[in-house]
Amino acid sequence: MKPSSRLPQRVVLYPKDIENITGRRGRTARRLLKKIRDALGKSKNEFVTIQEFCYFTGIEEELVRDFLNA
């Protein structure tokens, strides 16, 4: 079997992704992630998924995935 040259799609978002998607600065992106974690009852060590981010912000999941794959 030939190894796939495509990487699997990511499931989680990082502050840098949020900076690029929203155009906000790093600190604001980290604050937004914290706000999402707090609203979902997650600890600071737990990841925020693309689906959770989209639900919280109202941005369509397809737009975010397209942006991350570009």
Q: What is the pLDDT of residues 8-55, one digit of tens each?
A: 688 999 999 999 999 999 999 999 999 999 999 999 999 999 999 999
Residue 69: per-residue pLDDT = 86
Q: How far apart are the C-alpha atoms of 22 and 29, rounded to whole Å?
A: 8
- What is the rounded radius of gyration, in angstroms, for the C-alpha atoms of the chain? 13
Residue 70: per-residue pLDDT = 74
Residue 7: per-residue pLDDT = 61
Total-model pTM: 0.83
